[in-house]
Amino acid sequence: MKQTLLRTIVGAGGFLLCLAPMNAAPQYPDRDPWHNDRESFYHEQSWHMHLFNRVRQDLDHVQTVAFSGGDEYRIVRTKRELDELQSKLAAGEYDESSLDDAISALGRVVTDNRLSARDRDMLNDDLNRMRDYRAHHSDWR
């Protein structure tokens, strides 16, 4: 009787171990084409020129899963700040206060929105790249 019970438990455990990789699949970034594409973007040489467009794409992605209300409002406000910044940059004007406004708005999305850990990390990466741009904008081409 004990051996039969032990075999049943071991058999069930083996079966569950076979299923474990199926449940773990979403944890691997290389199985997510959208995030894969984002990572590839930063391996291209010209990514500096398109940083703010990439930030907008990341915000668009997060907005698709955002809660309505404050979460969505913060994303929309950040996009508006990016619009203003990009408009000035397109006109050849570097405006640090506009950049600071966009950085602050994105920072509020990161800290206040209900995000998955992966999306929060992605937007934190955007935030760090924008801060790096502020510190070294004259060297970015």
pLDDT tens digits, residue range 27-51? 544 567 767 777 766 667 777 788 9
Nearest to 95, CA basis, from 84, 110, 109, 107:
84
Nearest to 35, CA basis, from 61, 63, 56:
61
> CA-to-CA distance for 130 and 29, rounded, in angstroms?
23
The model's pLDDT over 47-78, given as tens digits with 9 standing for 90+, comes to 778 899 999 999 999 998 888 888 999 999 99
In the predicted model, what is the mean pLDDT of the chain?
Answer: 80
